[in-house]
């Protein structure tokens, strides 16, 4: 699903009005209906509801929502924040209609007009939507602060009042902190950025049937992975396939004290459908791996405690590995940063031709030896969390700048970068960014990154295109986390739970 910017959303509105065709006021009515449908589903009709409206079309939505909630017998009160002398036409239209049904509409002009808000009430925030053009101030700011201080549940219409749709806010900006955001038609960039968490809450998309052809043709570099899109990426399996069909992956993982990382990666790789798996671990991990992951072959490093090289045959009779024998290689989980491990990386990278997966300490070694980035095979997948990404690039001052850095880094190095976090951002070599839609805070626990590396390596080994592997793998990994959370809650989720919950259907 595309993410469009404010100007495009405005044109989308116009395009819908012209092509459907539909009168603007009826489009507002449709938006209000969809909002109320969700609202009625989530809150009982006895709940006291205060609706705060601005004077533009977001406020117009609020007015229409108020009228529809009245029809559903909700006890409502409506407050108009009078911050300017002029109202939009569609606001005025809905204001007139509401006045016929409601004894009194309240107007907030000074702080004395701001009502007390109690904990068992719901607030609907319809002050500003996508039309926000400057920071909130004066009476709007005072009203927003009062709503934020109140113990009530807050639901924002389209986007929290005070939050820009696709540009950074200043830290001093006063913005509604909603429990829910119900956004119209398309996700907005502001909704997927980590710093905006408090100004977004749980957000949902309401389909208001805006012009589909306009959306299909609109240029964008931002996408949000929907379940149906992820499912389409999944390849059907042929009944006559054999384990050779699904590739042979090699994982280079583990060091003394971190053999668990190798185990988790290996198990996840198998659960993501790889045909054959070889894991190279330091010798201290050999027995562990052979015992805990019997499905994988294990190639012990020459070194007892760290990885030092793709093992050539030696007197001990260890078989040699040839990197080109593998359909995909994953490097990094738990490998540490020993000089010998760096030397291994330096020796290995230039010899590789196919895309690989690079994670964890392999990323930190790259950050400390950036010339190695030139040897990463094109279309490889790097999976940094924000701190690792900062080490690879530089500090950013806001999430929008971080996205620019991410895009540039992926383009310049011709790689896929999965920036992990809530709504993980996947940057492609072409400069697109796909935000993931699955996952929950339970995934912020040791080992889940190792699981992702195993999953991505398995998908590459099966021949998935690297961008598709990243989008699908990150989606499935998050979905497994959501599955665990729905069964046992997100607190106490472990990486092993996530592996068990991986499903491909
Ligand atoms: N696009 C859609 O899919 C639909 C959107 N709808 C709703 O319309 C709003 C956008 O409405 P708009 O009138 O353009 O803007 P706002 O209501 O957000 O703002 C009104 C007005 O206020 C001025 N302004 C901006 N910032 C400030 C400020 N800080 N202080 C004072 N005044 C400010 C500015 O002139 C704005 O124009 C969208 O979010 C949806 O809720 C439709 O109803 C359905 C289709
Ligand atoms: K709003």
Which ligand 1 atom lies nearest to the CA of residue 64?
43
Tell how strand 425-427 and strand 416-419 pair up.
antiparallel
Q: Considering the chain, what is the average pLDDT of its residues? A: 96
Instruction: Establish how many alpha carbons lie within 13 A of residue 134's alpha carbon, considering only the half-sphere containing its beta carbon.
Output: 3
Q: Whose CA is nearest to atom 14 of ligand 1?
A: 131
Q: What is the pLDDT of residue 312?
A: 52
| Residue 208 confidence (pLDDT) above 60 | yes
What's the CA-to-centroid distance between 128 and ligand 1, angstroms? 5
On the CB side of 241, CA atoms within 13 Å amount to 14
pLDDT digits (tens, 9 = 90+) for 406-461: 999 999 999 999 999 999 999 999 999 999 999 999 999 999 999 999 999 999 99
Cα(80) to ligand 1 centroid in Å equals 14
Instruction: Kindly list the domain boundaries of the chain, sorted by start residue.
Output: 6-218, 230-501
Residue pLDDT, tens place only, 227-286: 999 999 999 988 888 878 899 999 999 999 999 999 999 999 999 999 999 999 999 999
ipTM above 0.90, yes or no: yes
* Topology annotation, domain 230-501: 3.40.1190
DSSP 283: G
* pLDDT confidence of residue 311: 54
What is the predicted pLDDT for the residue at 451?
98
- Tokens representing 219 are 């240029």
Q: pLDDT at position 313, please?
A: 46
Nearest CA to ligand 1 atom 22: 56
290 Cβ partners below 8 Å, 6+ apart?
298
pLDDT digits (tens, 9 = 90+) for 270-327: 999 999 999 999 999 999 999 999 999 999 999 999 999 885 545 455 567 899 999 9
Binding-site residues from annotation for AMP: 420-424, 449
Q: What string of H, E and C letters represents the secondary structure of 64-110?
A: HHHHHHHHCCCCEEEEEECCCCCCCHHHHHHHHHHHHHCCCCEEECC
Residue 212 clears pLDDT 80, i.e. is over it = yes
Cβ–ligand 1 contact at 87 (below 6 Å): no
Pocket flag, ligand 1, residue 88 (CB < 6 Å): yes
Place of tokens 């709940």: 47
- Tens of pLDDT, residues 489-502: 999 999 999 999 99
How many other CB atoms sit within 10 Å of the CB of residue 344? Answer: 24
Identify which ligand lies nearest to the alpha carbon of 164.
Answer: 1
Q: What is the pLDDT of residues 91-136, one digit of tens each?
A: 999 999 999 999 999 999 999 999 999 999 999 999 999 999 999 9
Fold of 6-218: Rossmann fold (3.40.50)
Q: Give the residue, out of 133, 139, 143, 163, with the most ligand 1 atoms within 8 A of its beta carbon, to mutate for a pocket test.
A: 133
Q: Whose CA is nearest to atom 43 of ligand 1?
A: 28
Is residue 134 in contact with ligand 1, taking CB distance under 6 Å? yes
pLDDT at 238: 85
| Position in ligand 1 atom list of the atom nearest CA 90 | 43
Per-residue pLDDT reduced to its tens digit, 21-80? 999 999 999 999 999 999 999 999 999 999 999 999 999 999 999 999 999 999 999 999
Tell me if 133 CB under 6 Å of ligand 1.
yes
Q: Which atom of ligand 1 is nearest to the CA of 185?
A: 3
- Averaged pLDDT for residues 359-380: 97
CA distance 129 to 492: 38
pLDDT at 316: 53
pTM given for the model: 0.96
Cα–ligand 1 centroid distance for 317 (angstroms): 72
Q: Examine domains 6-218 and 230-501 and report if their fold is the same.
A: no
Q: How far away, in angstroms, is 372 Cα from ligand 2 center?
A: 47
What is the whole-number distance in angstroms between the Cα of residue 482 and the centre of ligand 2? 28
Alpha carbon of 215 to ligand 1 centroid (Å)? 20
């Amino acid at each position: 699903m595309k993410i469009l910017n404010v100007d495009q959303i405005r044109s989308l509105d116009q395009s819908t009005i012209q092509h459907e065709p539909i009168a603007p006021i009826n489009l507002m009515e449709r938006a209000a209906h969809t909002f109320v449908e969700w609202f009625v589903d989530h809150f009982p009709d006895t709940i006291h509801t205060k609706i705060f409206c601005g004077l533009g079309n977001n406020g117009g939505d609020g007015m229409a929502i108020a009228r529809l909630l009245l029809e559903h017998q909700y006890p409502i009160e409506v407050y108009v924040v009078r911050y300017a002398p002029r109202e939009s036409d569609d606001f005025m239209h809905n204001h007139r209609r509401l006045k016929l049904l409601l004894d009194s509409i309240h107007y907030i002009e000074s702080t004395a007009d701001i009502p007390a808000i109690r904990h068992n009430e719901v607030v609907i925030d319809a002050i500003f939507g996508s039309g926000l053009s400057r920071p909130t101030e004066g009476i709007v700011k005072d009203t927003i602060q009062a709503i934020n201080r109140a113990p009530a549940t807050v639901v924002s219409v389209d986007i929290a009042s005070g939050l820009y749709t696709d540009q950074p806010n200043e830290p001093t900006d006063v913005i509604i902190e909603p429990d829910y955001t119900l956004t119209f038609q398309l996700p907005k960039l502001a909704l997927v950025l980590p710093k905006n968490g408090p100004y977004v809450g749980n957000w949902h998309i309401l389909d208001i049937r805006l012009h589909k052809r306009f959306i299909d043709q609109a240029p964008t570099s931002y996408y949000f992975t929907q379940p149906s899109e992820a499912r389409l990426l999944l390849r059907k399996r042929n009944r006559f396939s054999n384990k050779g069909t699904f590739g042979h992956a090699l994982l280079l993982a583990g060091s003394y004290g971190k053999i668990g990382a190798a185990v988790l990666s290996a198990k996840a790789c198998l659960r993501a459908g790889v045909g054959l798996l070889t894991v190279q671990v330091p010798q201290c991990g050999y027995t562990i791996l052979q015992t805990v992951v019997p499905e994988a072959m294990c190639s012990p490093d020459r070194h007892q405690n760290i990885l030092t090289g793709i093992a050539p045959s030696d007197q001990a009779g260890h078989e040699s590995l040839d990197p080109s024998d593998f359909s995909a290689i994953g490097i990094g989980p738990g490998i540490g940063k020993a000089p010998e491990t760096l030397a291994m990386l330096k020796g290995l990278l230039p010899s590789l031709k196919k895309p690989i997966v690079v994670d964890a300490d392999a990323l930190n070694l790259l950050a400390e030896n950036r010339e190695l980035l030139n040897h990463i095979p094109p279309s490889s997948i790097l999976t940094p969390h924000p701190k690792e990404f900062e080490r690879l690039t530089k500090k950013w001052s806001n999430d929008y700048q971080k996205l620019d850095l991410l895009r540039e880094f992926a383009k310049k190095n011709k790689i896929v970068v999965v920036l992990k976090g809530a709504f993980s951002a996947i940057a492609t070599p072409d400069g697109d960014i796909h935000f993931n839609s699955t996952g929950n805070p339970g995934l912020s626990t040791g080992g889940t990154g190792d699981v992702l590396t195993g999953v991505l390596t398995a998908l590459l080994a099966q021949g998935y295109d690297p961008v598709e592997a990243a989008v699908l793998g990150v989606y499935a990994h998050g979905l497994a986390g959501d599955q665990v959370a729905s069964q046992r809650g997100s607190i106490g989720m472990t990486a092993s739970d996530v592996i068990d919950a991986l499903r491909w259907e």
